[in-house]
Amino acid sequence: MKKVIAIMFAALVTAGAYAFGPFDPNEKVLKSFNETFSTAQDVKWEEFPNYFSVSFLNGGVRSKVNYDKEGNMMSALRYYAPQLLPLNILNKITKENPKKKLFGVTEITFNGTIAYYIKLEDNTHWYTLKVDVDGNSQQTEKYRKV
């Protein structure tokens, strides 16, 4: 009886490890990802009921991309230094905020639209600007430093 229980326990542990262990998405998603991000490193996949999500590092930029089950990109997040912004946006934001230091960027792509959330700081506050691809910006956050 002890052997049967030990075998059942081992089978449960093995099945549990397999269910939550590393996996590859379906062929369509993997093909789409590899065609776009052939040099990606530190790739980590997650599966959700209607989509796959992949986090990775590509060219020094931390990214997270969501794909539907057919391999179509649904949305993407990229995190990077302000110096990697498109030059027209970097120039405009720097000119409009001469006394603030640009700190970091979160780029969001959703439904074919790109928005840049740029963090800035001065001696007393942190700021977040939402900037579109044309460089139009609006402040979305302002926090006092303590």
At 109-123, the pLDDT tens digits run 999 999 999 999 999
The CA-to-CA distance between both ends of the chain, in Å, stands at: 64
| Domain ranges for the chain | 25-144
Q: In the 8-state DSSP scheme, what is residue 97?
A: -
Q: What CATH class is the domain 25-144?
A: alpha beta
| Residues 106, 78 contacting (CB under 8 angstroms) | yes
Query: What pLDDT sits at residue 132?
Result: 96
Average pLDDT on 24-50 reads 94
Query: What pLDDT sits at residue 143?
Result: 97
For residue 102, pLDDT over 60 is answered with yes
Q: How many helices (H) and strands (E) does the chain have?
A: 3, 8
The whole-angstrom separation of Cα 1 and Cα 54 is 44
Angle at 94 between CA 111 and CA 121, to 5 degrees: 90
Quick one: tokens of 20?
A: 């939550």
| Residues 39, 59 contacting (CB under 8 angstroms) | yes
The whole-angstrom separation of Cα 65 and Cα 53 is 6
| Residues 128, 119 contacting (CB under 8 angstroms) | yes
Confidence of residue 125 (pLDDT cuts 50, 70, 90): very high
Query: What pLDDT sits at residue 24?
Result: 73
Task: Tell me what the pLDDT averaged over the chain comes to.
Answer: 87
Stated pTM of the model: 0.80
Average pLDDT on 8-25 reads 47
